[in-house]
Amino acid sequence: MRRLRCGTILAATVAAVATAAPLAEYPGEVGENVSTEMASFPHWYCKAYAKYVDNEQAMKFDQHLLVAAIAPRALLVEGFNQGWFDAKGEWLSCRAASPVWEFLGKEGLPKGDFPENYDRSRIGSTFGYVRRGGQHGLSGYDWLWMLDFADKAFSEE
């Protein structure tokens, strides 16, 4: 059994039913934006983030760079279709980040169009995307997808 030590890098990450902003591309056409995030959840962000309120175009980065920084470690993004969530923006960020996994010798996001709810065909062994409807919060589907993804990711080691 391995121990997690200071400086150890986690082998897999799952972003499950996150709000749109952490993973969606900016400037988003739907869903949350910096203005609504800073008004509703200022405790989630550093104060410097506020300079992008109604000014997302000034960002010198896009959220797909955050996603790409996780490579080559395994990442599953579980999108959520409701209200201010921007599942399409999350998907676009994942697609934009996928070449980094490939460059580093890992399987990128499986090819294909924006998946329908509950379509697991975009879940690969090291990078995946799936989305669902329903209520906010973790569901039985989320746990099933996370555990299946972990099995794939850790069988690659």
Whole-angstrom Cα distance, residue 140 to residue 131? 13
pLDDT tens, 39-82? Answer: 888 998 899 989 988 888 888 777 888 899 999 999 999 988 77
What pLDDT does 130 receive? Answer: 94
The 10 Å CB-count burial string (b at 16+, else e) for 134-154 is eeeeebebbeebbeebeebbe
Q: Residue 71: its pLDDT value, please?
A: 93
What does the pLDDT profile of the chain (157 residues) look like in tens digits? 444 445 556 788 888 766 555 555 655 556 677 888 888 889 988 999 899 888 888 887 778 888 999 999 999 999 887 766 778 888 888 999 999 999 999 999 999 999 999 999 999 999 999 999 888 778 889 999 999 999 988 886 5
Written as six digits, the tokens of 111 are 């090819």
If DSSP codes are grouped into helix, strand and coil, which group holds residue 77? strand
CB atoms within 10 A of CB 125: 16
pTM over 0.95: no
Q: Quick one: pLDDT at residue 79?
A: 87
Chain centroid, CA 89 distance in Å: 10
Backbone phi and psi for residue 127, each to the nearest 5 degrees, phi listed first: -150, 135
**Residue type for 61, please?**
F
